[in-house]
Amino acid sequence: MKMINELRDGEHVYGNFLVASCTKGVTTGSKNYLTISFQDASGTMDAKRWDYLPDDPEIFAPGNIVNVEAEVISYKDHLQMKVLSGSKVPLESVDVAQFVPSAPIPKEELEKKLDQYLKSLEEKDVAAIANYLVNKFRKDFVSWPAAVRNHHNFASGLLYHSLQMADHAEMLCQLYPSLNRDVLIAGCILHDIGKTIELSGPVAPSYTLEGKLLGHISIMQAEIREAAHALKIEGEIPVVLEHMILSHHGQPDFGSAVMPLTREALALSMIDDMDAKMNILDKAYADVKPGEFTQKIFSMDDRYFYLPKYTKK
C-alpha cells in the first residue's frame, strides 16, 4: 500500500488513511459533499466525497482510520482524492504509528535533552517550578503535537518545538548576556505545556472543552501559580514566569493577555514566533520545486513564498 507522499495524479487508490478533519458542504446545485483531510505518517492530502451517503459523516469522522477507494486527481496544481467509497477500520487492527507523523528526532533523544536542560537550571525557584510542572505533565508533554494544523502538528511536536526554542535561547543568551538564561530556558520549556490540556492528543488532535473555553495560555498561567503555591515559592520568579506565559504570543491580537514587558518575555515571544514560522514554511515548501511558489499560507498573512533555485532539496 502506498503512502500519501507516493501517490500520483491519475492513480486509483485502495488504502487505509487517518481522517484528520471532515466538514460538510453543499454545492450551488444543492448537492451534498464532504471535504476531508486524510493523513498518514508521510503527510496529508485533501479529498472530496461527492453525494455522500447517510452513514458517511460517521465513517469519515475525524480520528477514524478508514479503508478508502479513491481516484487521485490534480486540482489547481495540487493533488487531492475523489473518494468513491470508505469503511471504518477498527483501531485495534492497525498500527496507529503508520498514520501519525512524528518529530524528526526520536522521542527518547528528545526526553534526554529535556532532562539535560532541566538539570542545567541553577536558579533554585526557577528549577523547582520547571521540574514540578514537567513531571506533572511529562507523559503527555513528550507525545503531544504543538498544534492542530499550523506548526509542529506531529507526535512529540510539542516537545520538539519547546527544545528547538531552548536551543535558540541558549545561543541568544551568549549574544546578549543581559538575558537571564535560566528564566528564558524555563519559559521555552513551559510556555506551551498547557496544550496537553488544550488539545485532545497526538492522533487527529482537536480542541478540548478547556481548550476552547480557556486556551493553553491561561491554563498554563494558572498551573504556574498553583505550582508556586504547592512549592511555597513566593516573590518575583513565579510572577515573571506567569507573565512570560501570558505574553508569549507577542500581542493581544494573537492571543496574548498582555504585551511582553521583560527582556526575557520579549525574547521568548520572538523565539516562539520564529520557530513556528520556520516550521510552517518547511511544510509549505515540502511539495514545491526550486523556482516555484508555495500555495497561499493563511497563517503567514496569506502570502505565497518563493523557493529560490539555489535551494537544495
Task: Supply the pLDDT for residue 251.
Answer: 83
Find how far residue 89's CA is from the centre of its chain.
Answer: 25
Q: Which residues sit opposite 68 in a β-bridge? A: 15, 86
Q: Say what the pTM is.
A: 0.79
**pLDDT in the model for residue 155:** 80
CA-based nearest residue to 266, from 152, 193, 169, 175: 169
Topology of domain 4-97 in CATH is: OB fold (Dihydrolipoamide Acetyltransferase, E2P) (2.40.50)
Each residue of 45-67: pLDDT tens digit? 999 999 999 999 999 998 899 99
Q: Are 284 and 295 in contact (CB under 8 A)?
A: yes
Q: Dump pLDDT digits (tens) for 91-139.
A: 778 777 788 777 888 889 999 999 999 999 999 999 999 999 999 999 9
pLDDT at 298 > cutoff 90: no
Mean pLDDT of the chain: 92
The pLDDT, as a whole number, for residue 65 is 92
Write down the domain spans for the chain: 4-97, 102-282
Domain 102-282 CATH class label? mainly alpha
